[in-house]
A and B are shown apart, each in its own frame.
Chain A
Amino acid sequence: GAVVSQHPSRVICKSGTSVKIECRSLDFQATTMFWYRQFPKKSLMLMATSNEGSKATYEQGVEKDKFLINHASLTLSTLTVTSAHPEDSSFYICSARDSQSYNEQFFGPGTRLTVL
Chain B
Amino acid sequence: LAKTTQPISMDSYEGQEVNITCSHNNIATNDYITWYQQFPSQGPRFIIQGYKTKVTNEVASLFIPADRKSSTLSLPRVSLSDTAVYYCLVGGVRWTNAGKSTFGDGTTLTVKP
Contacts and interface: CB of A to CB of B under 8 A. Distances in A.
Interface residues of B, number: 25
Contact of B100 (A4, A34, A44): A34
A52 to B, nearest CB: 13
Given A104-B49, A107-B45, A108-B43, A45 B103 contact: yes
Nearest to A9: B41
Sorting the interface of chain A by its residue count into under 10, 10 to 19, 20 to 34 or 35 or more gives 20 to 34
A58 B42 CA distance: 23
A49 interface: yes
A103 B103 contact: no
Given A34-B100, A44-B103, A46-B100, A105 B95 contact: yes
Interface of B: 32, 34, 36, 41-46, 49, 87, 91, 93-97, 99-106
